[in-house]
Structure 1
Amino acid sequence: MGSSANAISESPAEGWFTNEGLNLRFVEWGSPEKPAIVMLHGLRSYAHTWEPVALALLDRWRVIALDQRGRGRSDWDPKGNYYTEDYVRDLEALADHLALRRFVLLGHSMGGANGFVYAARHPDRVAALVVEDMGPGASANSGGADRIRRELNETPSSFATWSDAAAFWRRIRPDISAEALQSRVKHSLKQGEDGMVTWCHDAVGIASARLSAAPGKIVDLWPHVEALQMPTLLIRGANSDFLSAATAEDMCRRNARIRRADVPGATHYVHDDNLAGFNAVLQDFLTRVLGSSASWI
């Protein structure tokens, strides 16, 4: 791995581990000697979505981003087990594989739900938690949840050209930055043998799990939010249609360890819409955590 930011950006270290018969991939930036942050992406995203966040942290942190099952280059689950409990077991396997004794955990949306559950179960391993625009009930009863369900039903299985694929992402993510759009096209799509541009993730399996989850597969996040024992930062997009201001306020009221930051000019996809704003509140929080938790480095 190169020492410059550009070299790191071009070729982060890549690693693999196996859980429940699936080969799962992660990428990492930074020195293994530094304290670790594990980052979990959202429903239809990928590990490299965190690259511009990671590159701003390398002076003090080691950043590890997981291609969660069915996404990026990780295996698709032939059984279609794309539910919170499955993702949490994968995260447990990753932490054990890397022998992470203590680390910061960051998750966006679906990754945030996974983060709440893991952190509540493993307070000894999670030094601090950061959740981007996720809270109890948001996945089921919000305008954003309805929008995501519509998107899943209306998403084409393939595109004739890369331009068509980029136009699709721009249409459903009108606030996304040009850099984030370029990343999304590069890392979420591939060219098939027939010349069509298609998805890297298991679009059919993921949509099926999201749209028709049995009641027993849906996790009530409130007990996990209330059980958190570590400093927690809730980053909300000020224009989010997914996590309401009222729910975010209630989360902070129910657990005094949670502090909230609303990022202006951002929807549910905070780090894609306003990277500078996201990085500013994240780095301020991490500076506080690092300063008060030097013993776990």
Structure 2
Amino acid sequence: MSQHTVDIRDEPTACQWSSQGLRLNYLDWGNAQAPLLLLLHGNGDHARSWDATAQRLRNHWHVITPDWRGHGDSQWSPDGAYFTSYFVMELADLMEHLNAQAASIVAHSFGGVVALRYAAMFPERVQQLVIVDGHGPSADARQRWAEEGDVARTRNWIEKRRLIAARPTRVLPSLEHAAKRFMQDNKRLSHANAERLAQHAVKAVNGGFAWKRDPLTRVFAPEDFTQETGEVWRHVTAPTLFLYAEDSWKFTPAVRQLEAHFAKAQGFVFESAGHWLHHDQFDQFIGVVTDFLSPPTDS
């Protein structure tokens, strides 16, 4: 397992863009004259999860790391609107805000779902794609949903949202408690990295700290993943690299069959890594991504 150290002196610039009435946060890592590279985090994560990756890639890329709505330092949706299409719209608005004709994208987990949809809708705007354990719901999840049925799933979604909205804000007594939560979710995460991730995942409140993330983001609507299909993916024209984690709950050998839906796809499986493979095997991850990404040159 490779560990990485983030140089906290090397801080990005915090910026904002607007989408659908929300004020959203992104980090600009400089080198604005270089080709644009977006690093997209997953559900429940935040932009600072990419710090080490951004620091390693910023010499050759103009790296931007956004916080999705309801995450990090971006605003929460006042009506709890956390549907996949809203996130795709945010990505489209970010591209317009940056005045970008095209970009390369590295995206983790749910961020990969958003990136793939965007690349299908706007193939001319995406030059290269790296999808980090982010191809959509697992086969087991889809099977459970099919067995549950649409009516029961929708009712459960309503009931879960009501329960979450009625709960008081959970207060953590210290940053150490937040760090321990990260380490519970990812057994391979070092204590130093857990502390760093926790620092950017919580905000100070009376009595301690609270998660920045809107708890309603935890509940996906039944309709959210209807477009994760070969019919949509066939519109993606960018060269696409799928990175899989051998120990992720998402991975089975059969999942690699999805690569056949893409015009230019390849895959790589990381051993001794879970869902957060870019933390678990950082050096190998950076090597594979760097070998794949090619900054476009003027012809």
Q: Does 1:158 align with 2:165?
A: no
Alignment correspondent of 2:27: 27
Task: Say if 1:130 and 1:232, in contact at 8 Å, map to a contact too.
Answer: yes
User: Superposed, which structure 2 residues align to 1:60-139 within 5 Å?
Assistant: 60-138=60-138
Per-residue CA deviation, residues 90-112 of structure 1 (Å, 9 max, x unaligned), is 11100000001111012111100
Mean alpha-carbon deviation: is it higher for 72-81 or for 166-175? 166-175
Per-residue CA deviation, residues 115-137 of structure 1 (Å, 9 max, x unaligned), is 00001111111001111102243
Equivalent residue for 2:188, pick from 156, 169, 175: 175
Task: Say if 2:175 and 2:199, in contact at 8 Å, map to a contact too.
Answer: no
Equivalent residue for 1:236, pick from 222, 231, 244: 244
Distance 2:75 2:191 in 1: 29
* CA-CA distance at 1:256 after TM superposition: 4.4
Q: Does 1:261 align with 2:297?
A: no
SS state of the match for residue 158, structure 1? coil
CA distance 1:65–1:196, shift in 2 (3 Å) = same
Alignment correspondent of 1:190: 203
SS state of the match for residue 241, structure 2? strand
SS state of the match for residue 261, structure 1? strand
User: Superposed, which structure 2 residues align to 1:208-223 within 5 Å?
Assistant: 209-210=219-220, 213=221, 215-222=222-229, 223=231
Alignment correspondent of 2:298: 295
Task: Say if 1:225 and 1:251, in contact at 8 Å, map to a contact too.
Answer: no
Identical columns (%):
26
Counterpart amino acid of residue 234 in structure 2: E
SS state of the match for residue 195, structure 2? helix
Counterpart amino acid of residue 113 in structure 2: A
* CA-CA distance at 1:142 after TM superposition: 7.3
* CA-CA distance at 1:17 after TM superposition: 1.2
CA distance 1:98–1:62, shift in 2 (3 Å) = same
Q: Report the number of matched residues.
A: 272
Distance 2:239 2:190 in 1: 30
Counterpart amino acid of residue 262 in structure 1: V
Task: Say if 1:29 and 1:54, in contact at 8 Å, map to a contact too.
Answer: yes
CA distance 1:101–1:73, shift in 2 (3 Å) = same
Alignment correspondent of 1:202: 214
Distance 2:242 2:214 in 1: 29
Task: Say if 1:225 and 1:255, in contact at 8 Å, map to a contact too.
Answer: yes
Task: Say if 2:204 and 2:210, in contact at 8 Å, map to a contact too.
Answer: yes
Alignment correspondent of 2:259: 252
Task: Say if 1:135 and 1:243, in contact at 8 Å, map to a contact too.
Answer: no
Distance 2:187 2:298 in 1: 43
SS state of the match for residue 218, structure 1? coil
* CA-CA distance at 1:138 after TM superposition: 2.2
Distance 1:271 1:136 in 2: 18
The runs of 5 or more residues in structure 1 that have no matched partner are none
TM-score, with length taken from structure 2: 0.84
Distance 1:127 1:217 in 2: 26
SS state of the match for residue 56, structure 1? helix
* CA-CA distance at 1:276 after TM superposition: 1.0
TM-score, with length taken from structure 1: 0.84
